[in-house]
Homo-oligomer: A and B are copies of this chain.
């Protein structure tokens, strides 16, 4: 089953302790779509300016990502500039130029209105709601957000998340939205807002998933080289939704496997700047790392003492 993603396509300028890259391919929808494309077909809705390089369009097309919904309009492409210190868990935003994204009104092409798998990447929650209203009867909806929307449009955000199946945010955002320092209590409060499944990303510490009945904990893959964490969360979501859409297995077991595939994809993405690692990645490498995850976390049940 194909996935519909609505989010940003951007040019990023990134500085980490390991180097600098200027105006490289970025954006939440870009990372998500590329990651998900290893598992299923992806349809992307977004906007770029006239400066968006053809090579990036060619790359996305080469990954079988349908760009019918990507409009090119007069002006410049969304541009984000950020920096990471040795603590690679948190980016410092230096500049945000929304450019053509400032007036983005997502219009879902008629042929996507029947989408069964939908990801609302990090955009204004009011726009996320407009997208939700344009998709007739989605089977699985996931959604991301950021600290800016939690503080500026909490009510609009709460309306959106009460209608989605998987709300995927980071640890700091979970604490901010709930007003609880303890993550278990934070999760309970967010589930009480009507969220069916909450996935909390903890950077190098992995992921926790809560659904009110069970908790699933997956570590992050310990990496020797983390060059650029940009897009790790979107790449996680892409692997997660891509695997779900491919298998259609929405049982607790299937969703847990999807979380691990998401973690696998994120672990590759941070190994190089921009989408460079995803550009050279092959499916056998993904499966091999999934098996490493399995070995890394395995332990036997209780034996009799």
Contacts and interface: CB of A to CB of B under 8 A. Distances in A.
Interface of A: 39, 86, 181-185, 188, 202, 204-206, 208, 214-219, 222-226, 246-247, 253, 256-257, 259-260, 283, 287, 290-291, 294-303, 305
B222 A303 contact: no
A165 B259 CA distance: 34
A2 to B, nearest CB: 15
Contacts of A39: 305
22 contacts: A39-B305, A182-B224, A183-B222, A184-B222, A184-B223, A188-B224, A206-B219, A217-B219, A217-B296, A217-B297, A218-B219, A218-B299, A246-B305, A256-B298, A257-B299, A257-B300, A259-B299, A260-B299, A283-B305, A291-B302, A297-B297, A297-B299
Contacts of A185: 224
A305 B224 contact: no
B256 A300 contact: yes
A290 B302 contact: yes
Nearest to A288: B302
A205 to B, nearest CB: 4
Contacts of A188: 224
A208 B297 CA distance: 10
A155 to B, nearest CB: 26
Contacts of A302: 257, 287, 290-291, 294
Contacts of A219: 206, 208, 217-219
B299 A294 contact: yes
Of A181, A188, A226, the most chain B CB neighbours within 10 A belong to: A181
